[in-house]
Amino acid sequence: MKRLLGAAAFLFAMTACTADETEPASLDCEPGEFTHAPEAAVGDYTYTRSFTCPEDDALLPAVIVLHGMPGSGVLVQTNSNMDAMAEEAGFMAVYPSNPDREWDAQAEGEDAAFLGELVDRLVDDHRADPDRIYLSGFSNGGDMTLAAAVGLGERLAGAAAVVPSGTFDTLGQVETLETPIPLAAFVGVNDPRVQGQPVLDTWRTRGECTETESSSGADFERTAWTCAGGVPMVEYRVHGGHEWFGLPGREDSLWASREIWDFFTALE
């Protein structure tokens, strides 16, 4: 049994749209309205959603964003500014909170089981497109993303890890990778937590990835690989530290949320 959640969850009040958990087809919002749904629970875990209210029975792509350690869905929601990207692009941003405020970074552990249940909930109750479920995360959440990509890979259309830090046994989990899925990774060149780089290197080795191209921007270098089965991987080495990089509206620097969504969109 997970410990009780230590931090209170944030509940949006402005333009809130309440989804009936048993009748997801009837949302109390207008099509095209950007909506913050109330907190919901899966066992001891909680999650919130931000999305543009869909037309009729339209399905939405979903980007799950995992917090760091210690952290919460509220913190990563704020730090990533993923809501701004969700509103612009029209996908559902999902922010789970782990009751322990950290993720176990196991491919087949308790947290991976929760993520599988969350995917089911999003598809069954919240109009998420089962073919466009994406997982992302920050720091320890990035580690959980990599581990879950090993254990739940066939259920995920793509993954993104922002400054993964190699917590717990992330490396050991990635060493069991058999079938890679599309992956975008972000590393800070001044990040003191360097244990995530060997995990990404191991992903490339296990995934039989071959470098295909490189490019650069004002504050980053980008390298792309093609892995087994033609699966893409990109890694951004950003001139920064242990952080979710960038802000919306800044054209002179990389914004990780936009790069993540552009990567996912290119997979469709």
Q: pLDDT digits over 135-165, tens only?
A: 999 999 999 999 999 999 999 999 999 999 9
**pLDDT interval class at 27 (50, 70, 90):** low
Q: Can you give the C-alpha Rg of the chain in angstroms?
A: 17
What's the pLDDT band for 245 if we cut at 50, 70, 90?
very high
Residue 19 in this model has a pLDDT that exceeds 90: no
108 in any annotated domain: yes
Q: Per the domain annotation, does 120 fall within a domain?
A: yes
30 domain-assigned: no
DSSP class of residue 230?
Answer: G
79 is a domain residue: yes
Beta strands in the chain (DSSP E): 34-42, 45-52, 60-66, 92-97, 128-138, 158-162, 183-188, 210-216, 220-227, 231-238
- What is the domain extent for residue 90? 36-50+59-266
pLDDT single digits (tens) 82-132: 999 999 999 999 999 999 999 999 999 999 999 999 999 999 999 999 999
Joined together, the tokens standing for residue 136 give 């992302």
Q: What is the DSSP letter of 16?
A: B
User: Is pLDDT above 60 for 63?
Assistant: yes
pTM exceeds 0.75 for this model: yes
CA distance 174 to 204: 10
Residue 158 within any structural domain of the chain: yes
Residue 22: pLDDT over 50: no
pLDDT in tens, 39-60: 999 999 999 999 999 888 899 9
φ, ψ dihedrals at 97, nearest 5°: -120, 125
What pLDDT score does 11 carry? 31
- Within 103-247, residue ranges assigned H as helices are 110-125, 140-151, 170-174, 196-206
Q: What is the CATH number of the domain that holds 199?
A: 3.40.50.1820
pLDDT tens string 168-202: 999 999 999 999 999 999 999 999 999 999 999 99
Report residue 253 as tokens.
């620097």
Please report whether residue 19 resides in a domain.
no
User: Among the residues of 57-168, which ranges form H helices?
Assistant: 73-80, 82-89, 110-125, 140-151
12-to-37, 101, 219, 224, 265 alpha-carbon distances in Å = 8, 20, 34, 38, 28
In a domain, 138, yes or no: yes
* Six-digit token string for 118: 């969350």
Summarize the confidence of residues 213-231 as an average pLDDT. 97
pLDDT exceeds cutoff 70 at 17: no
- Residue 241's pLDDT is 97
Give the span between the Cα atoms of 121 and 143, in whole angstroms: 23
Q: For position 95, what pLDDT does the model report?
A: 98
How many separate domains does the chain show?
1
Sign of the CA dihedral running 136, 142, 143, 146: positive
Residue 15 has pLDDT above 50, yes or no: no
